[in-house]
Amino acid sequence: MDLPVPPHIQTHLTDITGLRLSGVFPKNREPSIRTLREWTKLRRIPHHRVGHFVYYDPLEVEVHIRTKLKVPARN
């Protein structure tokens, strides 16, 4: 029997195309697939590997970008 998972724990994993279209990035300013693959390779954005497949949690990526990848303003 499967137990229900609380909604705040559920994750919605998507592939790289789904990440581009998820709304994490500004409209018409989404990074290319090549850029996202490079960021994944350099571990700049969080990702999950299942075998040789790579999946992303858009919420996790958005939080990471907003908190860790901010570029400080010049003084």
56 falls in which pLDDT band (50, 70, 90)? Answer: very high
42 within domain boundaries: yes
Give the Cα separation of 15 and 56 in Å (integer): 6
> Sign of dihedral through CA atoms 11, 21, 60, 55?
positive
- Determine the residue type at 21: L
Of 4-8, 10-14, 23-27, 51-55, where does the model show the most confidence? 51-55
Residues spanned by the domain of 38: 16-68
State CA 31 to chain mean position distance.
Answer: 12
Q: Is the pLDDT of residue 31 over 50?
A: yes
pLDDT of residue 9: 46
Q: Is the pLDDT of residue 16 over 60?
A: yes
Q: Is the pLDDT of residue 20 over 60?
A: yes
Q: In the chain, how many domains are there?
A: 1
pTM for the full model?
A: 0.73
41 within domain boundaries: yes
4 within domain boundaries: no
Give the Cα separation of 22 and 2 in Å (integer): 29
